[in-house]
């Protein structure tokens, strides 16, 4: 725990890491505290106040149905962050496991089969594949035996699965180098099993680039969810989503209701920038070349 606290404290001393953590913290807090922070019901229609500009009653204005834009942005953060974080977690678990196995047993049949499958999946554009699959199976709940998967869960599982080849390639490249290191040979000479070497020694030395990649995939997941909601394949109305808010605002681009496009777009941009800045901060902090330079200085 102390080691984790020291790591986070070091990251926060970086300007990029601090700004990124600040942005992420604001939106995570917004998502967690949505029932208490939201000034209005996000799906409550009030036609008497439709298309009201920002004022003291509605800080970010209202939409074409009179719904409070600020409340919908606050509640919409839940869907975007849930998809981004959960999909990245699924991709991280699957990609690390596959990549470290293939890299540790490089040259084996497992390596050849696994990495050829990864190459095939890697060639498929992520957003196109997600839209195609959800478009085929539909946006309604999917029944799998005793389980009923809502549309958001389908998107999380699908995007998480599509992340696996990307993270597997990063893990594979690191594991390929680590598996040839002298400490691996020494551990084998001691009679240590391959599984113990992989997950107690090699894995720890492969995590630095993978963690950086995972933070970037959270940002990509937010964009994917917003894009799918924008085309009607993500969060379904009347539930709020940043993507559906932008889709609803398309008809008001030239009519002067600027707040309908600006604030949801700003929420997406700031969240993605936050995760990218944290990823940049982690990359600088975990870069062994910069550590070596610092020690030499």
Q: What is the CATH number of the domain that holds 44?
A: 1.10.3720.10
Q: Is residue 6 part of a domain?
A: no
User: Would you state the pLDDT for residue 148?
Assistant: 81
Distance CA 239, CA 82 (A): 14
Q: Is residue 2 part of a domain?
A: no
Domains identified in the chain, total number: 1
- Print the domain residue range for 216: 17-50+59-296
Q: Is residue 257 part of a domain?
A: yes
62 forms bridges with which residues in the sheet? 68
Q: Is residue 68 part of a domain?
A: yes
CA distances from 40 to 61, 75, 101, 164 (A): 12, 10, 50, 39
User: Would you state the pLDDT for residue 124?
Assistant: 83
Q: Is residue 118 part of a domain?
A: yes
**Does the predicted TM-score (pTM) go above 0.85?**
yes
Q: Is residue 151 part of a domain?
A: yes
Per-residue pLDDT of the chain (297 residues; tens, 9 = 90+): 565 666 666 767 778 788 998 999 999 999 999 999 999 999 999 999 999 999 999 999 999 999 999 999 999 999 999 999 999 999 999 999 999 999 888 888 888 898 888 888 888 888 888 888 888 888 888 777 777 888 888 899 999 999 999 999 999 988 888 888 888 888 888 888 888 888 878 888 888 888 888 898 999 999 999 999 998 888 888 889 999 999 999 888 888 899 999 999 999 999 999 999 988 888 777 655 454 443 333
User: Would you state the pLDDT for residue 67?
Assistant: 95
Both structure tokens of 229:
């909601």
Tokens 């950086």 found at: 212
Q: How big is the chain, counted in residues? A: 297
Please, which residues have CB within 8 angstroms of residue 88's CB and are 6 or more apart in sequence?
A: 160, 163, 214, 215, 217, 218, 221
Q: Is residue 12 part of a domain?
A: no
Both structure tokens of 63:
């939409």
Q: In this structure, are residues 245 and 264 in contact, taking their beta carbons and an 8 Å threshold?
A: yes
Distance CA 128, CA 126 (A): 6
Q: Is residue 10 part of a domain?
A: no
User: Would you state the pLDDT for residue 3?
Assistant: 58
């Amino acid at each position: 725990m102390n080691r984790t606290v020291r790591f986070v404290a070091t990251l926060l001393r970086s300007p990029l890491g601090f700004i990124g953590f600040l942005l992420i913290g604001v939106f995570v807090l917004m998502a967690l505290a949505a029932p208490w922070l939201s000034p209005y019901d996000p799906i409550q229609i009030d036609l008497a106040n439709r298309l009201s500009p920002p004022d003291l009653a509605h800080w970010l204005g209202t939409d074409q149905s009179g719904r409070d834009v600020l409340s919908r942005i606050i509640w919409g953060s839940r869907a975007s962050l849930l998809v981004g974080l959960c999909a990245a977690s699924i991709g991280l678990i699957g990609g690390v496991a596959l990549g470290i196995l293939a890299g540790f047993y490089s040259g084996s049949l497992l390596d050849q089969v696994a990495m050829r499958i990864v190459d095939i999946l890697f060639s498929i554009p992520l957003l196109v594949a997600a839209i195609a699959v959800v478009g085929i199976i539909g946006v309604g709940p999917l029944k799998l035996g005793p389980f009923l998967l809502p549309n958001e869960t389908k998107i999380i599982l699908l995007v998480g699965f599509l992340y696996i080849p990307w993270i597997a390639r990063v893990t594979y490249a690191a594991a390929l180098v680590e598996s040839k290191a002298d400490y691996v040979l020494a551990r084998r000479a001691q009679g240590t099993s391959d599984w113990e070497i992989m997950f107690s020694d090699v894995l720890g030395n492969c995590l630095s680039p993978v963690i950086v990649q995972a933070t970037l995939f959270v940002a990509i997941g937010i964009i994917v969810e917003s894009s799918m909601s924008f085309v009607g394949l993500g969060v379904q109305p009347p539930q709020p989503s940043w993507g559906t808010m932008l889709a609803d605002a398309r008809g008001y681009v030239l009519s002067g209701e600027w707040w309908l496009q600006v604030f949801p777009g700003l929420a997406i941009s700031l969240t993605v920038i936050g995760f990218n800045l944290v990823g940049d901060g982690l990359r600088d902090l975990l870069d062994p070349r910069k550590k070596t330079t610092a020690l030499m200085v």
